[in-house]
Amino acid sequence: MKTWDEFATAAPDLAEKGRKLLYRTGSGEALLATVQRDSPPRIHPIAVAIAEGGLYAFVLPSPKLSDLEQDGRYALHTYPDPDTPHEMQVRGRVRLANDEIRGRLAEDWSFDVGSAAAYEFLIDNVLVGERDNRGQWPPRYSAWTA
């Protein structure tokens, strides 16, 4: 598993495309898929940030928090945009951010995080699909694996 900065060092062009997709609305947004051993996957909209050398999110008490605490595996997918139908998927495991990093992240976060836990999304693999228009299938895929 690698941090965002390690991924960006290994695959700078892919990381830049991914950053643009995560921030295409101006703030970091994605869909988070979490799993538990005996349950089907869940999908959750979340706010994310590339900061402190990693890819982070604050996770409020919820089923997604329980999933991450119990299992740790995730898939993160950028929101679809009909005008620019590119996409990125990131998969890996999460780790809890330490108090120092959590504090710095909370200062600039897009909402009041209260006592929410901050997680870093460690990266196992990244897949970026690019299309010139919605009708183009399949996308042109570029992939990176840790």
State how far the Cα of 32 lies from the Cα of 74, in Å rounded to an integer.
Answer: 7
Residues 2, 51, 104, 99: what is their CA dihedral angle, to the nearest 10 degrees? -10
For residue 30, what are the CA distances in angstroms to 34, 37, 61, 110? 13, 23, 18, 14
pLDDT of residue 36: 83
- pLDDT tens digits for 52-61? 999 999 999 8
State how far the Cα of 99 lies from the Cα of 56, in Å rounded to an integer.
Answer: 13
Q: Is the pTM of this model over 0.85?
A: yes
Q: What are phi and psi of 30, to 5 degrees?
A: -160, 170
pLDDT of residue 45: 94
pLDDT of residue 83: 81
pLDDT of residue 110: 87
State how far the Cα of 118 lies from the Cα of 39, in Å rounded to an integer.
Answer: 24
pLDDT of residue 37: 78
Domains of the chain in sequence order: 4-145 (2.30.110.10)
Query: pLDDT tens digits for the chain (146 residues)?
Result: 999 999 999 999 999 999 999 999 999 999 999 998 778 889 999 999 999 999 999 999 888 899 999 999 999 999 888 888 999 999 999 999 999 999 999 999 989 999 999 999 999 999 999 998 888 889 999 999 99
Q: Is the bond into 138 cis (omega within 30 degrees of 0)?
A: yes
If one counts every other C-beta atom within 10 angstroms of the C-beta of residue 37, the result is 7
Q: Which runs of consecutive H residues, i.e. helices, occur in 23-98? A: 63-70
Q: Are 37 and 43 in contact (CB under 8 A)?
A: no
